[in-house]
A and B are shown apart, each in its own frame.
Chain A
Amino acid sequence: MKRYSLMVLCVMVLLLGAAPLVCAERGVTDTEIRIGQWGPQTGPAALWGAVARGTGCYFDMINDEGGIHGRKITYYLRDDGYMPPRTKAIAKELLEDKQVFAFASGVGTAPGMAVKKYLETNKVPWVGPATGSSHWGYPPTRYLFADYPLYIDEAAILVNYAVKTMGKKRIAFFYQNDDYGKEGLAGAEYALEKLGMKLVAAVSAEPLDTDLSSHCMKLKAAEPDVVIMWVLPKHGAIILGTAAKLGFKPQWMTTSTLSDTDIMYKITKGLFKDVIYTSFGELIDSPHPLMLKYKKAQEKFAAQDRWGIFFYAGFLFAEPMVEAIKKAGRNLTAETFVDAMETLKDFQGIGPKLTYGPGQRQGARSSFLAKVTEGGKPVKVMDWMESDVDLKAVLKKLGRL
């Protein structure tokens, strides 16, 4: 009997000892919170890889201010080269080996889609995938929060501006033949239908195309007064060049993906002037107090990086995450974090207003419009505007519901 009670005692002591291990939250200790991100630092999409470095700079700034509730953020940035198989390996490594608490942002729809299910099954909070795809918020999942305006909404806002404010009548659409382009197309078609109009032409390009002459001629033949393009920066430059050559001068409009006006102006040799685009965040020279603060952080922690939209987007996409970590308090777990995220209502940093709630995972539904002026400097032409798109209808049309 005595031996029995000794054994029971031993087991109990062992269990007690092990208890903190079992309960301790992955990636959260008394002094640190581990957060990971993938992002293309090499390869075709590396232009957008600045997002991941921006988030790093943001966390450096927060740590420098003393961290959150006594904890500092340890940040793991990995290069996936925009290749989904590599993204998978990274998610696994950071989760199982580095034991991260959550993932911030992450560029690319395809890389993100490759790990979406894996992260959800393992109950890993993930905030702010850096693409406007509708896949993040629809259908909603518990641990994934989107804060990039939807391409569908962006396109609808552009169409409304073109028709209602500018009085344009003939709108054409030039898009990349994939999810990215097609969601933009669906948004534009929806908005036009509501106005009782139709696109005069919809022309698609493949990501690898270099010669866009016949695309441009098709667009020109439809005689549009506005062309909205949903393509890669490179294709944006080629189509503007080809159009200029053919004497085709519509009002060009485009998405936030092409909002690095500095680069776009340079590579189009100035043809990017007068282009109107949707922006997900404050303009580069905005006097917004947060922008000034972030700019200082960039000068201090990432002086080698260019202060461009995609760099400070790394701050923008992670803002709600930091806010929710603050709100969750000392007792930070995946569950308390999600609960805190769900309390965010009209939260706004340098991006759109964000609202989450139970079953609501697409936080951003607004964008503002800017126009490119001489030298590539953008100016705001319309303030933040909420989209009135009935997403259910559009998703149904896309075959998603």
Chain B
Amino acid sequence: MFLQLLLSGIAFGSLYALIALAMVIIYKTSEVPNFGQGEMAMLSTFVAFMLLDTYGHSFFVSFLGALVFAALLGVFLEFVFLRRAKDPNILSLILITLGFEMILYGVASWKWGADQRDLSFPVSDFDLVNIGPAVISYLNLATLLVALVLMVLLFLFFRYTKVGIAMKATQQNPMAARINGIRVNRILSVTWAMSSTIGAMAGMLLAPVATLDPNLMLEPLLKGFASAVLGGMTTLVGAALGGYMLGIIENLFGGYVSLEFKSIVAFGIIVLVLCFRPSGLFAKHYVRKV
């Protein structure tokens, strides 16, 4: 039982990790937690569903199509809404992302209705690998793999590529970054595109398990956010680890302590972390000097 709870925790944890990564990328450059993230991912997943089911494209084409859509959606939202905000402070930007959340939710409900859909995924959730007395499905393994690979790629990207370093610079001091010749606006667009694409991957990996409807990401987004807070909103690796930790803690708590309170563990964790380690477990705590 313990091993199975652990494995199930890791399986769901990878999803939380992906969402946390998507959130952290935007947070790292603009210090805005994007609450529209979940709905952006949900909409992109619906696009994959539409290409696959309504237009009969192959899975590969649909998957790529949805990723491209996700990237464009990210750029579009950043360009059309966030960039237009006058004298934006963080609070108003957060409110704009909450606005997206509602608009996108409305669009999906209007276009696809609330019927539950089945996104056919080439990797099965029922083909299993036995690990001792416990099992894990191919789909879980795929999710785990995607999350790990992305984590490494992103780490390398931020550490070694020019764009990545420019992104970090933009977050630390947009004005200085601009003076040094970084096109801050373009950097922001790229961040949104990346984040939205990663979110879309999480959506497409989740949909085969949880069924696809406009509510797909409501709860996972909150959990992803909690993971990011747990691990640290400014560290990619930390946020992803936060995802795994949350997945495992939740499952063990549900298995051994109380199922009724399982779903609020995440929020308890947010409160505790904010009280004792506001920057997260894995982030360097820094105080911004005035």
Does A211 reach chain B (CB closer than 8 Å)?
yes
Task: Tell me whether A234 and B213 are in contact in the complex, defined as CB-CB below 8 angstroms, given that A204-B259, A221-B1, A245-B128 are known contacts.
Answer: yes
- B4 contacts A246, C-beta separation under 8 Å: yes
Bound-state CA distance A42–B108 (Å) is 10
List A residues 203-260 near B (Cβ within 8 Å): 203-206, 208-211, 213-215, 217-218, 221, 233-234, 237-238, 241, 244-247
**Which of B183-191, B214-222, B227-235 contacts the other chain?**
B214-222
B257-272 interface bits toward A, Cβ cutoff 8 Å, 1 = contact, 0 = none: 0011011000000000
- Contact partner, B214, options A44, A221, A241, Cβ 8 Å: A44
- Select from chain A the residue with minimum beta-carbon distance to B128: A245
Does B274 reach chain A (CB closer than 8 Å)?
no
Query: What number of B residues sit within 8 Å (CB to CB) of A?
Result: 42
**Which of B77-85, B113-121, B149-157, B170-178 contacts the other chain?**
B113-121
Q: For residue B8, which residues in chain A have a CB less than 8 angstroms away from its CB?
A: 211, 213-214, 217
Q: For residue B109, which residues in chain A have a CB less than 8 angstroms away from its CB?
A: 42-43, 46
- B262 contacts A214, C-beta separation under 8 Å: yes
- Contact partner, B262, options A43, A45, A209, Cβ 8 Å: A209
List A residues 75-129 near B (Cβ within 8 Å): none
Does B5 reach chain A (CB closer than 8 Å)?
yes
- A247 contacts B135, C-beta separation under 8 Å: yes
Task: Tell me whether A267 and B211 are in contact in the complex, defined as CB-CB below 8 angstroms, given that A46-B114, A217-B1, A244-B126 are known contacts.
Answer: yes
In the assembled complex, the CB of B6 is this many whole angstroms from the nearest CB of chain A, namely: 10
Describe B's contact surface by its main secondary structure.
helix
In the assembled complex, the CB of A230 is this many whole angstroms from the nearest CB of chain B, namely: 15
- Contact partner, A234, options B1, B5, B106, B211, Cβ 8 Å: B211
- B116 contacts A214, C-beta separation under 8 Å: no
Bound-state CA distance A217–B256 (Å) is 11
- A263 contacts B254, C-beta separation under 8 Å: no
In the assembled complex, the CB of B130 is this many whole angstroms from the nearest CB of chain A, namely: 10
- Contact partner, A245, options B106, B137, B211, B259, Cβ 8 Å: B137
- Select from chain A the residue with minimum beta-carbon distance to B9: A213
Bound-state CA distance A208–B221 (Å) is 11
Bound-state CA distance A245–B128 (Å) is 7
List B residues 132-163 near A (Cβ within 8 Å): 135, 137
Q: For residue B215, which residues in chain A have a CB less than 8 angstroms away from its CB?
A: 44, 234
Bound-state CA distance A43–B113 (Å) is 8
List B residues 88-124 near A (Cβ within 8 Å): 106, 109-110, 113-118
A140-169 interface bits toward B, Cβ cutoff 8 Å, 1 = contact, 0 = none: 000000000000000000000000000000
Q: For residue B218, which residues in chain A have a CB less than 8 angstroms away from its CB?
A: 208
- A210 contacts B210, C-beta separation under 8 Å: yes
List A residues 282-337 near B (Cβ within 8 Å): none
- Contact partner, B255, options A40, A44, A217, Cβ 8 Å: A217
Q: For residue B11, which residues in chain A have a CB less than 8 angstroms away from its CB?
A: 213
List A residues 4-59 near B (Cβ within 8 Å): 40, 42-47, 49
Task: Tell me whether A218 and B214 are in contact in the complex, defined as CB-CB below 8 angstroms, given that A210-B206, A241-B209, A245-B126 are known contacts.
Answer: no
Bound-state CA distance A27–B11 (Å) is 57
- Select from chain B the residue with minimum beta-carbon distance to A213: B8
Bound-state CA distance A204–B260 (Å) is 7
Does A397 reach chain B (CB closer than 8 Å)?
no
In the assembled complex, the CB of A149 is this many whole angstroms from the nearest CB of chain B, namely: 23
Q: For residue B220, which residues in chain A have a CB less than 8 angstroms away from its CB?
A: 210
Bound-state CA distance A46–B125 (Å) is 27
Bound-state CA distance A245–B116 (Å) is 21
Does B250 reach chain A (CB closer than 8 Å)?
yes
Bound-state CA distance A221–B214 (Å) is 33
Bound-state CA distance A208–B215 (Å) is 9
- B263 contacts A246, C-beta separation under 8 Å: no
Does B251 reach chain A (CB closer than 8 Å)?
yes
Q: For residue A47, which residues in chain B have a CB less than 8 angstroms away from its CB?
A: 113-116
- Contact partner, B254, options A177, A214, A237, Cβ 8 Å: A214
Does A269 reach chain B (CB closer than 8 Å)?
yes
- B114 contacts A246, C-beta separation under 8 Å: no
**Which residues of B line the A interface, CB within 8 A?**
1, 4-5, 8-9, 11-12, 106, 109-110, 113-118, 125-126, 128, 135, 137, 206, 209-211, 213-215, 218-220, 223, 247, 250-251, 253-255, 259-260, 262-263
25 CB contacts below 8 A, A to B, read: A40-B114, A43-B109, A43-B214, A46-B109, A47-B113, A204-B260, A206-B260, A208-B218, A213-B4, A213-B5, A213-B8, A214-B251, A214-B254, A218-B255, A221-B1, A237-B116, A241-B125, A241-B126, A241-B209, A245-B126, A245-B135, A246-B4, A263-B115, A266-B117, A267-B118
Known A214-B8, A269-B118; 12 more pairs at CB < 8 Å: A47-B113, A47-B115, A205-B259, A208-B263, A210-B210, A213-B254, A217-B4, A217-B8, A233-B116, A238-B209, A267-B211, A269-B126
> Nearest 3 pairs between A and B by C-beta?
A214-B254, A46-B114, A213-B8
